[in-house]
Amino acid sequence: MDEQEVREIRQAFPALDTFVWFQNGGVSITPRPVADYHLALMAELRDRGPMHIAYPEEEYPRRTATIDRVSRFFRAQPTQVALMRGVSEAFQTVIRGIDWQAGDQILITDEEEAAIYLASLHLRDRHGVEVITVPVKGTSERQAVAFADAMTDRTRLVAFSHITTDIGARMRAEAICRAARERDILSFVDCAHSGGLWPIDLNKMGCDFAGVLSYKWMYAPYASGFLFVRDPDASLIEVTYAGGRSESKLDWHTGEFAFKPGAERFQFGPWSWPLVHAWARGLDFLEEVGVNRIWDRTCVLTDRLKDGVEASTRLDLHTPRSSDDSAALVSFGVEGATPEETRDRLRGRFSIVIKAVYAARKGMRASCPFFLLEEEVDFLLEKLGDVLGA
């Protein structure tokens, strides 16, 4: 994918006329075909009414096709997928379905964001669960070994981000999940920062559960997602959130009910279906560009940025150097200003949008979506020098 082709693709992203976008890892900007489709669906609601009530013969087949499309992108079966609002809800569905006992352990990295970290601390305070953190350091292969070594006979769940949020380190999900499975430990993978960057087969990954969301690297409007359940009929977790749309049978006279088969039993409450349909359209957009080509382009951009960070005396690279151990996030420390000051100066003076990180490690996190220009990477490095006084 050369620069000229990237410039042509950028025409689908009108928001790029406003700023230089290094915050795709927060929420992506939406390409015109996806946004236009979402707008058309909302106009349909306005003009024709709620489609599942007014025209069920149209809407329900469309919903089935959308779930098929989203599932197929991750090489999953529709029966393995339960719609959620995002990874947080998917993870909550899993941990609330486990009968925790005091002294049980949950194993996470020391760089999880709130979806996993806060929920784990809540388990600690509610149920006496011991939260064990595995430091993120070294290669992804060494990381997998560290996870396996930390598993004990009290470990009930291993939960981790496929790509860590702060420094963008890639976990060897297959190896970690295999080690957990060999010890009869459940596993959950947060795919927020991997889904859409390269082809992912959730079944081959070997995780018992995974959380996926639409609005980072799949370019759909905020927000929708799903919970992947590898073996939905194995009853590995209980249904905790029972509500409308999770039932296959509900008798108001006898009080009898039954849950839907497959992962759909974990669905509850309503969603904005136009958002979910737009997600499926976002996947079409990705595949029109080419997912493998997107990953190749991502490596070009992140390598260029890492080279520039390492060449600077004011920046300290936090993200693993190899693309085998990282993804589209490049994190680095800054000298001469706080991360928040650096973020605000870049936005205010140069219209560069980038994230300040201050949880596990303090610094900046640059997201590198495939549509960035190489000159924009150079522009970021140049202006970092300006605002840090290099």
Specify whether the backbone of 336 is left (phi greater than 0), alpha (psi in -120 to 50) or beta. left
Cα–Cα distance, 75 to 204 (Å, whole number) = 9
Q: Do 179 and 279 share a domain, yes or no? A: yes
Determine the distance from the C-alpha atom of residue 280 to the mean position of all C-alpha atoms in its chain, rounded to a whole number. 16
Q: Helix or strand or coil: residue 26?
A: coil
Strand ranges inside the chain, DSSP E: 20-22, 81-84, 105-109, 130-134, 155-161, 186-190, 209-213, 225-229, 247-250, 257-259, 315-317, 329-334, 352-358, 362-367
Q: Do 270 and 282 share a domain, yes or no? A: yes
Q: Do 174 and 319 share a domain, yes or no? A: no
Question: Contact 12/31 with Cβ under 8 angstroms?
Answer: yes
Mean pLDDT for 200-227 is 98
Q: What percentage of the chain exceeds 70 in pLDDT?
A: 100
Q: Do 259 and 139 share a domain, yes or no? A: yes
Q: Is residue 38 part of a domain?
A: no
pLDDT at residue 310, as a whole number: 98
Provide CB contacts within 8 A for 330, sequence distance 6+.
168, 302, 305, 306, 309, 317, 319, 365, 366, 368
How do 209-213 and 155-161 pair as beta strands? unpaired
Q: What is the CATH number of the domain that holds 12?
A: 3.90.1150.10
Of 222, 255, 286, which one is at a domain's C-terminal end?
A: 286
Q: Is residue 42 part of a domain?
A: no
Q: Is residue 282 part of a domain?
A: yes
Q: Do 194 and 82 share a domain, yes or no? A: yes
- DSSP character at residue 220: P
Mean pLDDT for 95-118 is 97
- The model's confidence at residue 374, banded by pLDDT at 50, 70 and 90, is very high
Domain count, the chain: 2
pLDDT tens-digit readout, 23-79: 999 999 999 999 999 999 999 999 999 999 999 999 999 999 999 999 999 999 999
How do 209-213 and 186-190 pair as beta strands? parallel
- DSSP character at residue 198: B
Q: Is residue 266 part of a domain?
A: yes
223 cis-preceded (ω within 30 degrees of 0): yes
Q: What is the CATH number of the domain that holds 111?
A: 3.40.640.10
Cα–Cα distance, 29 to 16 (Å, whole number) = 9
pLDDT at residue 358, as a whole number: 85
Range of the domain at 165: 50-286
Q: Is residue 223 part of a domain?
A: yes
Q: Do 281 and 216 share a domain, yes or no? A: yes
Q: Do 213 and 345 share a domain, yes or no? A: no
Q: Do 183 and 299 share a domain, yes or no? A: no
Give the residue among 315, 331, 305, 318 at the shortest CA–CA distance from 387: 315
Q: Do 198 and 90 share a domain, yes or no? A: yes
Provide CB contacts within 8 A for 350, sequence distance 6+.
20, 379, 383, 386
Of 286, 321, 343, which one is at a domain's C-terminal end?
A: 286
| Beta bridge mates, 75 | none
Q: Do 304 and 241 share a domain, yes or no? A: no
pLDDT at residue 390, as a whole number: 62
Q: Do 69 and 197 share a domain, yes or no? A: yes
- The model's confidence at residue 271, banded by pLDDT at 50, 70 and 90, is confident
Q: Do 171 and 124 share a domain, yes or no? A: yes
Of 259, 286, 313, which one is at a domain's C-terminal end?
A: 286
pLDDT tens-digit readout, 144-197: 999 999 999 999 999 999 999 999 999 999 999 999 999 999 999 999 999 999
pTM of the full predicted structure? 0.97
Which residue do the tokens 């702060």 mark? 166
Question: Contact 295/364 with Cβ under 8 angstroms?
Answer: no
